[in-house]
Structure 1
Amino acid sequence: MPETAPERTAAADASAETDQSVDRRFGVFSVIVLVIGVAAAALMSWWLPLHPSTGQIGTGLLLVLAFLVVEQVSVNIDVRGGISWTISFTEIPLAIGLFVAPFQVVLAAHLIAGVGTLLARRVQDRVLYNTGAEILEITNAFAVYTVAGMIIQGTGPQWIAAYLGAISAPITSTLLALAAVHVLGRRLRVGAATKLVFRTLVLGLVNASVGVVGYEVATNVDHGLPLVLATLGGVWALYLAYSGLLREQRDLEALSEVSLIVARSGRRAAARPAAGQDTASAIKSDDWHGVAQRIRDQLGAARVVLRLRFDPQAPMHTVVAGQELPAGVVDIDTAGAKADGLLRLPGSHVRHFRRVDSLPEIRQALIQRNAHEALVVPLRSASHLLGVVEAHDKLSRWRGFGQADLRMIGTTASHLATALDNRRLLATLRHDAYHDPLTGLHNRPGFRQLATEMLASNPGSVMLRVDLEVQPAISDALGYAWSDRITIAAGRRLRDALGPDTPLARLEGGAFAALLVDADLERAQVAAEKLVAGLSAPYPVDRLTVEAGVVVGYSSSAMPDGVLFSDAPGGRAGTPTELDVDELLKRADVALRAAKTSGERVRAYMPSMGQIFLRRFQLVTQFRQALETGQVSVHYQPKVALPRREVLGVEALVRWRHPEFGDLHPDEFVPAVEAAGLVDALTEFVLDRALIRIRKWLDRGLRIGVAVNLSVRSLADLEFPTRVSAALERYRVPPELLTLELTESGVMADPQRALPVLRALHNLAVVLAVDDFGTGYSSLAYLRQLPVDEVKIDKSFVFGMGSDLGDLAVVRSIVELGHSLGLVVVAEGVEEDAARDQLAAMGCDVAQGYLISRPLSEERLEAWLQARTAMAKNVRDETVLTLLS
């Protein structure tokens, strides 16, 4: 028959007032049930008075024994919401008692067995309710039995009355149980309630049938008792199979629920570090009490204790479900855990201890916990102890915890340890995903998340962008390890300067960011200057001191926009908008770039700066369309051999006629295109146009070469020489007519990486030229190693030859150096006759500049060639073009 158990399943943070209110309501309800039961029993005793006889004592003792047996083989079903249903086989002895004993004897036997079992199990909070419920069950059963017997007397068998009386008992207890659920304020869905009631009634029908049939067979059939015993054995075997399957199902449900609770609490806890919560507050808000309660319900234990260690260096945190734990063993520190016999068990196996037969240290630990027996299982990962699960004192069995309980707590502990380890790994992965491994500061995604939360509650804030500039030569000399040490030191100085509560991030390399909460521009200026002073101080490296430059740009979230992409999605120029983290970082970056350009150390973002960024953005986003629509074209500037004035070739120079900005110089859009990763498309475009131009000249019998400028990206692309070879074959152009110009700074940035590409291009027989020669800091050291054919003297030296003896000496030195290495020397920027004559006197091979011609479109170049040159045959019988005087 079903009984209710008002178990508490509130979370650890539920209020004590609510629990006390539930206890009071159930206590009042229990008293009411008991009073009604006593009154009903008194009426039944008046109606069916007891007539003592000699055999009633023996019958009563047998009924007590029968009721005790069926109480010990009861089945517990846990229901969500704090209700435990206990299904027993009391209908079997009750049905027999209706036949053989008076009401008072059966009632006394049932109360002695039922209440005695509860007291033996130390379940004191249900005694009043169950006493009243048992009295009502027996009273109602005898009332139905008596009334039915009177109705069918003389017209049918008496066992029908006993059958109906036995069935009425589970119906009575089921109605009381549903009333208790309502009083406790628990929510039980109609479907779940219907299923439980149906199962209870089915089992009641089976039990009543067994009791009635067994009595009739035993009393009316010859040798019927052995048959009844065999039938009871079969029912018992069926019950064992059913209870085993039910136990497995409940164990699986419990394991699933425990894993889900830990997973949900892990997701909530993983989201908290961003908001600055400490570990203790995160643990308090997790639903660990629900885990402990679920394990306790499944084991039927008086108490379950979870001791969890979230930090290997910190003591365990204790969660208790069920009976309160003595104060001395609630929170045990690390030293206490080492001395406690139950907390320093090796391995991860389940241990079952009883106070009567345990070692002294185990017995002492059980006494401290006020427990007679305990199941203990450590929670371990591969590396360290995660916690310990303790279950104290079995409630539902005389014999204590059994093998099924050991298996259940062991499997649950294994799942719990895995879930905890996964949670720890998830927390580690989350930390690593949102923090920079070198400095420990937030990385870009972590900073974005934290700064977004801070901006939501503090809109008046300032974003700082800090760039730490260490000379590449220092990094090359000391190595990346020392460069990392400088970066770590810079991050530490940044934290010391701005305080531990300021959100900080290392974005990449030596780039940092900080968000000053509730700050204005004046405070930001002071903080930026403080950072410059602090981060610029020399960094000690062994016995050396390394100096680094620092530039800071900052932007306020309170500043109105006006330019930068309308400064917010959907915003209009000139109107205040609510800026997000990315927008503030972008503005601070614009201010930082402006500071670098102007040579300042600190610069605040101004709305006018956005125009530059907006124009740069538009150029990058519109570049591919410009290539396809013909806005981008190639102009050519002639190059002439000195002193013969023969036109040797031209240099291909890209031009962009923008529909909004007009004619754009390459110095404006090429760096933007290169930074956006679109320079390969530009290089292929210019290369194709140059080869088409050469092919047209070859078809006319002219051998005029074209020079094409390469970017640093092309020098790092190992597939670039293959594409050049394919283009030469496609247009049927001799490789010696194609010159590829690369800047000296581009080659020197990473000469070892550029060398394989240069050698592959040199093997194709194309001409390689070093542009802007003379402006680098290490060109002379590497020039001998580079497979180049030409050097181009930077125009800044050519411009100053006539007025600066130093520039004249540089040009002469480059000419002599180039010739000594067997290179062709080209001078660009020739704008005067005097400069041309000086270069010719020095022995310079080729001149290029406005004196000869400005860059020309294809049509104007053809006109220039017809008007300014004469066709002639040279000594090698080749057609050449010579400038007219």
Structure 2
Amino acid sequence: MDRQAGQPRRSPDLAWLITGPLAVLAIVLTAALAVSDSRLLYRWPIALIVFAVFVGSTFGALRLVVGRQGFLITVNEVPLVLAFYFLPPVTVVLMVTLATLLTQLRRRLSVAKVWFNIAKSSAAAALACVVIKALPPIEGVGPATWGVLLIGALTYTLVTAIAVVGVIGLLQGRRAGEQTARASVPGLLACIANAAIGLIFLITLVSTPWAAILLAVLVAAGVSVYRSYAEFFRQHRTLADVYNLTRVISEAGQSTSLIDQLLVRLRALIQSEYATLWMPARGRYPEVLLTSRIDDAGLLDLSYTPRSVRARVEESHRSVVVSPRSNTDADLRPALREAKIKDVIVVPLRSGSTVIGTLEVVNRIGGDNSFGVADVQVLETVAAHAAVAVENSRLMERLRFDAYHDRLTGLPNRKRILDALAAATAVGAPGEVVVVLVFDVDGMRDVNESMGHAAGDSVLVEVGSRLKAAAAAGALVGRLGGDKFVVTERADSAEDAVRIAADLRLALHAPMVLGSLTLDVDTVVGVAVQSGRDGDAEALLQHADLAATAAKAVPGGVQMFHPALESRAVRRSGLAADLRHALEAGELEVHFQPKVTLADRRLVGVECLARWNHPAHGWVDPEDFVAVAEHTGQLGRLTQFVLREGLRRCRDWAGADRPLAISVNLSSRTLADPLFPELVEQLLGEYGVAPGQVTFEVAESGLVGEIERALPTVVRLRQIGVRLSVDDFGSGRSSLSYLHRLPVQEVKIDGSCVQGMATSAGDLAMVRAVIALAREFGLSVVAEGVESERTLELLKELRCEVGQGFLFSRPLPFERLEAWFGLRTEAEHTPTGEIRRLRAVP
């Protein structure tokens, strides 16, 4: 956005602090001169001639620019030498005052500048006359007269120079005053030369008055030649400056100094107070608005150009100049007055027929100067070169950027990440590890299918932004492609890397608003670390990717890489298509593990577990194909298959007057699915099973940290009437705080704690505490992993109600479970003492 307000400058009215004393000095000295010599109209024809020469001398002035001001070096010393010789002092002062007033009115300066110049010239002339009066009287045109007249001319020039230095230093600061003082030195040297010329004219006129005719012809010819030479010199200098500027633009075209070099040199070339480059936002390129100001070393992000002037250029595709010397676009002059600027040129930067921006100069330096046609031509020439350089620079930048960055998010791509990893693993401090975190965004397929790919892209862009904001300052955040992101940084240890991964995953977990919808974005994180300098960047990234895949089956969603994942990944890579076919063809099986009461070993239910006998690989580890199902989006179908089979058997058992409850394992991802309760309700009605006969088991680690997301689904399931069990309780970050927040009815103690309670006091204490606390909350307790009679006895002493494990039975297919039922029924009809216990089924 343009900012039209600039840095405040000192008011020109402050010039009266110098103008006033100069005027007083001129009046006092002139009065003193009038008292000492009352002649006024003495030799008035000569006075008119000298007056005309004095006025005409300003037309051959040399213009110098210092800071915001322009000033003239004239040949006033020539007529002054004649005036000092021929005219009375008061006449000299009045002549100089009137001539200065006339020239100031012609230049149309501000009131403050007009009065300053009049006061300066009058005071200088009066002081010069006083100095001449103090010197020996002028007699003849000999060397003594030369010295007196030269001192008078130097006094006039020195006083005017001091006044100019003083007013510029007052208005623009000490630095500008010092620049003006240095620029005035050539004027003092020119004063001596001009005085010498004046003395030659004087000697010639004293010898014969008729020489005035020849001198007039000589002066006219000299002025004409000087003007021609000055114009030629100006054009040559402008051409050289334009050439140098375009050469600098070409050399700086591939560097960040292009705009700096362009604006600073352009401002000096056009002699403007401000030079601005403006380019609107295009694609991934933001708006460019930079201004070089005459009294600032750096570039400013503001503009002094009125918006209406720039809009005229955008609409008409032509250059616009608004100045007192230009009659075109005169309707824009009120906008300049409102912005408190004098004149402006705005030319378009073109790429073909498209206007890609503007190049602008504001305020021609020098109160009587303004921009003209020649300035527009120079600016258009520079703009043509600048547009080509800017477009080439943008093209090269875009090519370099696209080669190493993702087009959608703008983050570094895989190539850039690998290069950074290679450099990071080559250099490392002792005790540091290089950390690679791969984030896999969950549910992107659902977002794309339900809301469209544009919404999916928005989710990915937001994930990238959140990762970049949450990552450490020295971290590199990139996108591998698809729904995978990567973060690389250094850490003190592998444990620290896992903590960083968990923190970043939590930062991504906040709800995301897309239009009128709010989404919960979940991710899993794979962690790989490399210490030392022998790391392979490609392998390190692959390890983190494998760990991210494994993290989908891990409670908490964060997995550190270990070598076993690599060998398992090779096998899992071939299972995805086979699993899909197995689900479609019904090749998976459901096995059932009995749950019995520990007091009397009465069968009360079964846990339904999926099993897969692969035609080539044999029995596949459930952990492997469940992870494949999660990774390939088949987990929902797998869960539905197990639930259907369990409900079908539950219905059959109830029909055979053997009512048994069933338990089905749920992933934390399933609990995050808001449609899952409706599916459960539908299947319960389809199979005619009472909700209380169904228990869903969710791992403890899947609930810790996920309570807020799981709570709506859990509450809905409870409303349906199914039971909820906290599985593997005690296996990880045990937290009892959520037990009173969730409508759970059961706690299932992790098998590792149960198996160790006979030999470990710590495990025994853990089991005792869980059972006691569950009883306080009114929850039933199930102990899994019961594998010995000693463990059974301890659990009975602790009054644990239900157990399951190899002591009773392994998970069994339906046919073997039916045989187990038959054995159980036979045992119940055997006289007591013949069979004392039910043997476990192998």
Give the TM-score of the pair, scaled to structure 1. Answer: 0.46
